[in-house]
């Protein structure tokens, strides 16, 4: 009876954390978005068409998580008024918007000639917004934030170059690509800097972010098989795909190799690939790797006292392990004879 009660209590606590997490993401996004639209309207002189393109593209993006990451880190570092750092939250969101513009080129979803015209202003705006931070922050802290934003540009460039050159399975190159696409490290460092954290804490926040971001990327590449197999169809060598090439044998490997990089997979072919990756532990391999990174992050977080920000960062790691995509993939599990 006690075990059942404890299980129910854990579920209730998880539900409470989930509700708080997404409510905080929305609250943060609402304020950051309002800042962005006001800034575009009042501070940046754009042609009507470019202004329309920027605002339309911004609203299509995932405009919640990056801003909240900066906020969580700021509050974990001891910051008490996160609205003072809204420009930095917005700048981080714009970095992601620029990333998705370039990502669209690689995935060939929209006109490649037009996308850079949208992505480049996002990058410029992110730096301009940092200049609006008030005098609660020193010149040195603002410069450090700018350095972290530039580092993010550098790492994104590394990721995109590796995406172009990674044409065979290579786990080391994949790890460097993950490093290039990891926003968590820089957003956590930015929040710590603006929270006036000590240098050792800024570095620790960066390590926490590096592990959580790596977990998200690996998990996203893993549960891609539950969606439209975009990476598989595009011929991208993600961690689970690399593992599949190395460990599949027989008919399963023949099917996997034959269908890899085929852009117009039928429903039956996608189901065949899902069956292969689920029953050959390809999904479990990616999921386990993501879990290892989450565990490292939680260990690094352990030195900080309990707080809402710590709970939110910790809860974020669970998203790499439990979601509807894994549940969907579980339906392809076959009974082993």
Quickly list DSSP for 183-222. -HHHHHHHHHHHTT--HHHHHHHHHHHHHHHHHHHHHHHH
Given this model, what pLDDT does residue 114 score?
55
| Residue 331 burial class via C-beta count within 10 angstroms: exposed 0-12, middle 13-18, buried 19 and up | exposed
Residues (pLDDT < 50) of the chain are 337
Given this model, what pLDDT does residue 96 score?
87
Separation of alpha carbons 291 and 69, rounded Å: 19
Residue bearing tokens 């970095």: 95
170 Ramachandran zone, left/alpha/beta (phi>0; psi -120 to 50): beta
What structural domains does the chain harbor? 1-197 (1.10.600.10), 198-337 (1.10.600.10)
Cβ count within 10 A of residue 191: 32
């Amino acid at each position: 009876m006690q075990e059942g009660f404890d299980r129910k209590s854990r579920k209730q606590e998880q539900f409470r954390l989930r509700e708080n997490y997404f409510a905080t993401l929305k609250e943060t996004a609402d304020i950051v978005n309002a800042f962005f639209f006001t800034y575009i309207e009042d501070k940046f002189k754009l042609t009507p068409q470019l202004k329309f393109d920027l605002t339309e593209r911004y609203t299509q993006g995932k405009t919640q998580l990056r801003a909240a990451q900066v906020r969580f880190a700021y509050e974990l570092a001891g910051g008490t008024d996160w609205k003072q750092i809204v420009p930095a939250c917005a700048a981080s969101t714009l970095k992601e918007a620029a990333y998705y513009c370039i990502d669209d080129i690689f995935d060939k979803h929209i006109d490649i000639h037009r996308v850079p015209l949208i992505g480049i202003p996002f990058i410029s705006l992110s730096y301009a917004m940092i200049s609006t931070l008030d005098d609660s922050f020193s010149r040195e802290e603002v410069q450090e934030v700018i350095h972290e934003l530039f580092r993010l540009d550098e790492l994104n460039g590394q990721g995109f170059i590796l995406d172009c050159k990674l044409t065979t399975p290579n786990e080391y190159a994949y790890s460097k690509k993950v490093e290039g696409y990891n926003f968590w490290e820089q957003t956590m460092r930015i929040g710590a800097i603006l929270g006036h954290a000590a240098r050792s804490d800024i570095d620790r926040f960066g390590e926490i972010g590096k592990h959580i971001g790596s977990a998200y990327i690996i998990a996203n590449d893993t549960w891609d098989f539950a969606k439209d197999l975009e990476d598989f169809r595009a011929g991208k060598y993600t961690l689970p795909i690399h593992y599949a090439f190395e460990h599949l044998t027989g008919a399963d490997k023949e099917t996997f190799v034959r269908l890899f990089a085929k852009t117009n997979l039928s429903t039956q072919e996608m189901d065949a690939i899902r069956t292969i990756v689920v029953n050959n532990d390809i999904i479990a391999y990616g999921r386990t790797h993501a879990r290892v990174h989450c565990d490292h992050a939680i260990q690094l977080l352990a030195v900080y006292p309990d707080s809402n920000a710590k709970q939110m960062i910790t809860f974020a790691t669970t998203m790499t392990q439990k979601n509807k995509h894994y549940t969907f993939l579980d339906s392809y599990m076959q009974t082993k004879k």
